[in-house]
Amino acid sequence: MLIDKKATLSMLALVLAMVVAIPPAPLAAQASTDSAEVSAFLAEAKREAVQLRSDTEEMQTFTRSNLNWRSFAAKITKIKRHVNNLGATISKLNNTRGEGSAWQQQAIDRIDPLLKELVSSVEATISQLNEHQGRVHSVHYKEYVKANHEQASNLAALVSDFVEYGKTKNKMEEIAKNPEVPER
């Protein structure tokens, strides 16, 4: 019986040592606080992604028109500018990732690969336009344009959803801080 008590005391001491090694609660609470800077960059990314989606949608309408390759070139140049602006914003997000809360970090991690796919798709579209200017109404080129629009739409939806999540989360936290009981 004595041996069991000593073993139990040793286990308790080990558990106590492990509990002491856990960081205090305020540090854990800080990690869950949203970064205003990350939220601002996400809102900036949303504005750019929504504009990008609009431009890729407009370019898709070009494929159903008689516009010449110069119109396509002007629009893809505008799309490229939006992609580059979005890339700069995502770079800012990546640089501030460590300051963000868990959901903000997840947002950055999910947005980044979608942007990389879109960059690749836009580059391929530009390459096709440069090599085959007279074939902007071909089925092959239309597929490139369609892929750009789908990827831009997916990216805009994802960024918009994260921004809206952040706004809703903040509203819920404010409500929880100041609950009002309705009068009867």
Q: What is the pLDDT of residue 10?
A: 47
Torsion on CA atoms 170, 171, 176, 177, rounded to nearest 10:
70
Beta strand ranges found along 11-90 (DSSP E): none
For residues 114 and 25, the answer to whether their CB atoms sit within 8 Å is: no
The pTM for the full model equals: 0.78
Separation in Å, CA 100 to CA 32, 48, 121: 8, 21, 29
Report the alpha-carbon distance of residue 172 to residue 65 in Å, rounded.
Answer: 48
For residues 79 and 148, the answer to whether their CB atoms sit within 8 Å is: yes
Q: What is the pLDDT of residue 183?
A: 72
Q: What is the pLDDT of residue 138?
A: 93
Domains contained in the chain, CATH given: 35-174 (1.20.120.330)
Report the alpha-carbon distance of residue 111 to residue 151 in Å, rounded.
Answer: 11
Nearest residue to 103 via CA among 165, 21, 28, 24: 165
Instruction: Output the tens digit of pLDDT for each of the chain's 184 residues.
Output: 444 545 444 444 443 344 334 343 333 333 468 999 999 999 999 999 999 999 999 999 999 999 999 999 999 999 999 999 999 999 999 999 999 999 999 999 999 999 999 999 999 999 999 999 989 999 999 999 999 999 999 999 999 999 999 999 999 988 888 877 667 7
Burial of 130 (0-12, 13-18, 19+ CB in 10 A): exposed
List, in sequence order, the alpha helices (H) in 63-138. 69-95, 102-131
